Chain A
Amino acid sequence: MNLLQAVGGRLLNNRWAATAFALLLLVASLFLAWQSERSAAQDRLRQVEVQAQILAGSVSAALAFNDREATREYLAALRLNRAIQAAAVYGSDGRLVDAYVTDGGSLPEAVERAQQPRISGGKLSVAVPVEQQGLALGHVYVRAAIESWTARASRYVAIGIIIVLAALLIVLLGATNAAAAAANERLRAEIAAREQAEAALRQSQKMEAMGQLTGGVAHDFNNLLSAASSGLDLLERAEDPGRRAKLYTGMREVFERGAKLTQQLLAFARRVPLQPEVTDVGERLAGMRNLLERSLHGGISLDFDLEPRLWPVEIDASQFDVAVLNCVVNARDAMEDGGAIRICARNAPGGFDGRDAIEVAIEDNGSGMSAEVLERVFEPFFTTKEVGRGTGLGLSQVYGFAQASNGAATVSSIEGVGTTLTLFLPRCEDAAI
């Protein structure tokens, strides 16, 4: 079936193949018609010969003993067959005994030998011997009309029209399908180009988030480096083995924290396509705490309110990280004078278009947004920040991520009170976590 579809599809997608197929259909049907014509003509010849033989068989006694009346009766019986337009009986001396003619033609004056069925002048004629136990008693001559050309053609008209229409349909289908295939090809190329552009956009969004991070991270790194450097100084001077060991441990911790930080940054900046995997959002958020804290400045507190046993969701974890980070950075920037950010995650049974989902909310008590800003908040390149601080890609990434995860992102805000950004991520049904 698949093979048939493949062959059929290829055939119909190619204009020339379809035309060739249609031509093949026409040629095949012409051949079949010719074949059937031939066999019909053969049949007719045989029929006429059989009729002549039947007459020869039945008329033998009447012919042998000059029974004119009986001969005439046999001829009259044959005459009922309209197609037989002339029939004649000849004696053993070749002379005509009796006959009838309905087509106005003439009869052979004498028949002294059998004649194979033959067609001449649109008529089919045959002469067969009359024999009784091998004794020649005479001949019988039969002439029949051949079906006229128009009568024969009319038999093929209906089927001919159907075949021609079928051929036309195939050609038409081939043409439209070829056009559709070309359009499809263009569309596919366009989609590929768009996907590439989207990937580039995602990457740039990531880089922006990283840029936002960098300030805090650089500061942190500096702290770690100075801690390490002073640790080394102290180690040089310290002589008490207990104190040295303590310093070693402290420095190792410093290095480990630095390495972890670097790792997180690398993981963040890596160029990877969307890779949905079954993820525990609670675990993921808890793991991000360090990173998030580092992106904030003093005066802003970060709280987590995570429901235990959150349902698993199928998302690209690194994109999720970026989305949460973007939300947090956005909240931070709305709180110049400090404030509080709360990240809540809970199961929402039937909470997303009647389907189970988990709800991740990032709340702040910052400046909030005006209705106009709220309306455009997810638009790419829309920003309220001054030039050089924001690209306007942060929240559009959040929106894109939610859409790509079959979920949704909503934002609600009251000017001067704060903003809540909520992500709905549909529950993964067949996950075993």
Chain B
Amino acid sequence: LKADGRTRSRPVRLAIALALIALAQEPATAESLEARIKAAYLLKLSSFVRWPATVFTDANAPLRICIVGRSDVHAVLEALARNQQVAGRTIAAVHIPHDSAAQAQSCQALFVGRNSPAWRDLLTATKRSPVLTITDRAGGTHGGVIEFIESGGNIRIGVDRAEARARSLELSSKLVQIAEPTGR
């Protein structure tokens, strides 16, 4: 009987240990799955886009991914982007306020993740600049070069190729292949 009790307690202890390990590996605090996926997408998206060389001040300038309205996504991205490089550049995750059109100009990627009174101004302010705008339909924004589209519990990528061309951004054909076309 005693031996029996001991064998029953073993899986329980194992589960606790595994949970502890999982918690320790989790970046930052326990952000939502949705935020983690979107942060990862933002990082990965940057590798499927080519910016004109002129947008970087020098060879060591980081690739700036700016996030508006989603501090949770920013937190995850910051953790994810640590020690990562895209095309030889480090990644800088920058959280900028809603009304900072000037700051938006200096970003290579701009994620407008949540509806706010001035979100359209951000897109307009960067019009014709090589800024990869990313909007999120679930967050109430749209019209970016890239759009996150939630469907059936999955987050898909929408691409507006005309908008990308207007902003002198080169999208990888592999990305275009799996993306849904958006825009006019």
Contact = CB atoms under 8 A, between A and B. Distances in A.
Interface of A: 58, 60-62, 64-67, 70, 132-137
A135 B156 contact: no
B157 A134 contact: no
Contact of B44 (A58, A65, A70, A134): A65
B116 interface: no
Interface residues of B, number: 22
B177 A61 contact: yes
B178 A134 contact: no
A64 B48 contact: yes
| Interface SS, A side | mixed
A61 B87 contact: no
B103 interface: no
B178 A133 contact: no
A135 B47 CA distance: 7
Contacts, number: 54
A134 B154 contact: no
A193 to B, nearest CB: 95
B41 to A, nearest CB: 6
A4 B174 CA distance: 65
Contact of B47 (A58, A67, A133): A133
Contacts of B84: 135-136
B48 A61 contact: yes
B175 interface: yes
A346 B52 CA distance: 116
B177 A65 contact: no
Nearest to B154: A66
A58 B175 CA distance: 10
Given A64-B48, A66-B154, A135-B85, 9 more contacts: A61-B177, A61-B178, A65-B156, A66-B155, A132-B172, A133-B48, A134-B88, A135-B86, A137-B47
A65 B178 CA distance: 8
Contacts of B87: 133-134
A61 B174 contact: yes
B10 to A, nearest CB: 22
